[in-house]
């Protein structure tokens, strides 16, 4: 494993390692441009040769970067620099809900739980309105502010844009076994109701201190599909009698029987726990402050000590058809799925972050399918690398330039992509630029082969192809990774 401490990745100087996930490491880093501390998530080198891993990592950063909401941890930047894929996000001083649950070894105070869930529900519904499905909502992905008054949703590492498929070409699919929805286990496409299910499991754990399903990964996956959750009041008898209904509805096996929004789920939780109609609002003025102060007294600040919930990759030889009945696993003959941790733990801050910098508009994660290769009207041209070097003989970093005389709209950006000759699937986008007409690329990140490079104008969260600026002639790379 390479040591990045003291090195720079683009504009970010790595200070120390503060966490890790299944395919990446997280570092405390200094943004030398904006002069602020960030959390820098870096894809490990051993995963660079896996196109799916690279694409998923980049998509996660891209999806989160496009989301600007008070209860979503902001992603400031994502791309490729110095031969490393990275995601730069705001560094949060507080800890996660997972840490609090582990520290207390029991439920979180009910008023505080509802307060946090209300904030996360707003974040979830906002992401859904922008076409983003999180697919991995769980306590470790809910971070708290230093004063524990605000909850933030983070880690869109396996996020899905609406309309994309969840199952990989090999038939594998990913998710955290304790929180994954039945349809994701079966290999069906995830949608907003899949996130509602994961939020329901999270709410169950926050209110009771226990998971609805526990055991080895195969057992948990079987229970998600076939076993009703135990009554939450049997786990925590102090909860009101009406709490089972909203919890059970959020955990319905069939997506159509669940809530259709996170807000509707939390409204019903409020109504059930308060003994009032579902639309009644619990929080207001000094009452919120008083309840928070009392609730916060139940625990003292401390280090991160919560266990990390792994993410499981479950492989099926054949993806099930709609309506297929999934047979229960036989423990003696069914192989245990490969477990790949994706939870990211982050240590408390030693330096308080500064104000959030402005973020550029989002770009596409989907390969464009232009109707025509004819460039739009105007002065537009693909230029050779700035130094005029022969691409076939050059090594290392090159600066690719293009010209374009038309202004970009607020929701548009340039994007540089490399396509293997004869394929419409790009390996990975090499950054996006709002104003500049140039991009630096380390060609050693591409395998040997023949490529076309394109500059695109993309728009919006779904990456709608606005215009294709130009398409290059093929050029040859005579080296690989």
419 alpha-carbon distance from chain centroid: 25
Using only C-alpha atoms, the chain has a radius of gyration, in whole angstroms, of: 24
Residue 243's contacts (CB-CB under 8 Å, 6 or more residues apart) are 207, 232, 233, 269, 272, 273
Chain centroid to CA 381: how far?
A: 35
Task: State which H helix or E strand residue 416 sits in.
Answer: strand 412-420
Distance of CA 24 to the CA centre of its chain: 13
**Which of 25, 125, 136, 439 is the catalytic position?**
136
Task: Give the tokens for residue 158.
Answer: 């396996």
Please provide the DSSP assignment of 161-217 as one string: ETT--SS-TTSEEEE-TTT--HHHHHTPPP-HHHHHHHHHHHHHHHHHSS-SS-SSH
Please give the torsion angle defined by the CA atoms of residues 456, 459, 463 and 467, in that order, rounded to the nearest 10 degrees.
-40
Place of tokens 């754990």: 205
d(CA 400, CA 452): 12
Residue 413's DSSP bridge partners are 458
Residues 364, 463 contacting (CB under 8 angstroms): yes
Q: Are 187 and 319 in contact (CB under 8 A)?
A: yes
Q: What tokens were used for 438?
A: 């140039």
Instruction: Respond yes or no: is residue 136 known to be catalytic.
Output: yes
Contact 118, 106 (CB under 8 A): no
Q: What residues does 437 pair with on adjacent strands? A: none
Grouping H, G, I as helix, E, B as strand and the rest as coil, residue 355 is coil
Q: Assess contact for 415 and 461: CB atoms under 8 A.
A: no
Answer yes or no: are the C-beta atoms of 315 and 174 closer than 8 Å: no
Q: Which residues pair with 41 in a beta bridge?
A: 26, 87
Strand 75-81 versus strand 84-90 pairing type: antiparallel
Give the residue numbers annotated as catalytic, written as ranges. Answer: 136
């Amino acid at each position: 494993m390479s040591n990045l401490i003291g090195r720079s990745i683009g504009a970010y100087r790595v200070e120390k390692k503060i966490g890790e996930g299944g395919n990446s490491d997280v570092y405390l880093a200094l943004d030398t441009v904006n002069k602020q501390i960030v959390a820098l998530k870096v894809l490990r080198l051993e995963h660079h040769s896996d196109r799916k891993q690279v694409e998923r990592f980049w998509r996660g950063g891209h999806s989160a970067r496009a989301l600007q909401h008070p209860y979503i941890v902001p992603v400031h930047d994502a791309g490729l620099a110095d031969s490393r894929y990275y995601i730069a996000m705001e560094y949060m001083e507080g800890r996660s809900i997972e840490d609090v649950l582990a520290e207390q070894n029991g439920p979180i105070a009910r008023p505080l739980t509802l307060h946090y869930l209300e904030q996360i529900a707003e974040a979830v519904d906002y992401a859904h309105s922008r076409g983003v499905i999180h697919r991995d909502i769980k306590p470790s992905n809910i971070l708290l502010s230093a004063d524990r008054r605000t909850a933030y949703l983070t880690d869109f590492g396996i996020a899905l844009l609406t309309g994309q498929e969840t199952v990989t070409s090999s038939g594998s699919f990913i998710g955290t076994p304790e929180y994954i929805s039945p349809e994701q286990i079966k290999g069906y496409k995830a949608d907003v109701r899949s996130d509602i299910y994961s939020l329901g499991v999270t709410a169950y754990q926050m209110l009771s201190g226990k998971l609805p399903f526990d055991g080895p990964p195969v057992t948990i996956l079987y229970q998600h599909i076939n076993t009703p959750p135990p009554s939450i009041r049997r786990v925590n008898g102090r909860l009101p009698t009406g709490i089972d209904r909203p919890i059970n509805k959020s955990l319905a096996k069939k997506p159509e029987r669940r809530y259709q929004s996170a807000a509707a789920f939390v409204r019903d939780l409020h109504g059930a726990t308060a003994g009032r109609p579902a639309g009644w609002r619990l929080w207001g003025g000094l009452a919120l402050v008083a309840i928070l102060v009392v609730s916060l007294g139940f625990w003292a600040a401390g280090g991160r000590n919560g266990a990390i919930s792994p993410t499981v990759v479950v492989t099926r030889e054949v993806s099930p058809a709609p309506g297929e009945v999934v047979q229960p696993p036989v423990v003696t003959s069914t192989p245990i799925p490969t477990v790949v941790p994706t939870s990211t733990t982050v240590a408390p801050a030693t330096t308080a972050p500064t104000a959030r910098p402005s973020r550029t508009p989002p770009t596409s994660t989907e390969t464009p399918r232009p109707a025509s290769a004819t460039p739009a009207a105007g002065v537009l041209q693909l230029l050779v690398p700035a130094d005029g070097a022969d691409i076939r003989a050059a090594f290392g970093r090159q600066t690719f330039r293009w010209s374009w005389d038309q202004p970009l709209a607020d929701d548009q950006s340039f994007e540089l992509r490399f396509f293997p000759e004869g394929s419409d699937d790009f390996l990975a986008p090499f950054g996006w630029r709002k104003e500049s007409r140039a991009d630096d690329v380390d060609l050693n990140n591409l395998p040997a082969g023949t490529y076309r490079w394109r500059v695109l104008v993309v728009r919006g969260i779904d990456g709608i192809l606005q215009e294709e600026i130009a398409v290059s002639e093929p050029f040859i790379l005579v080296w690989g990774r």
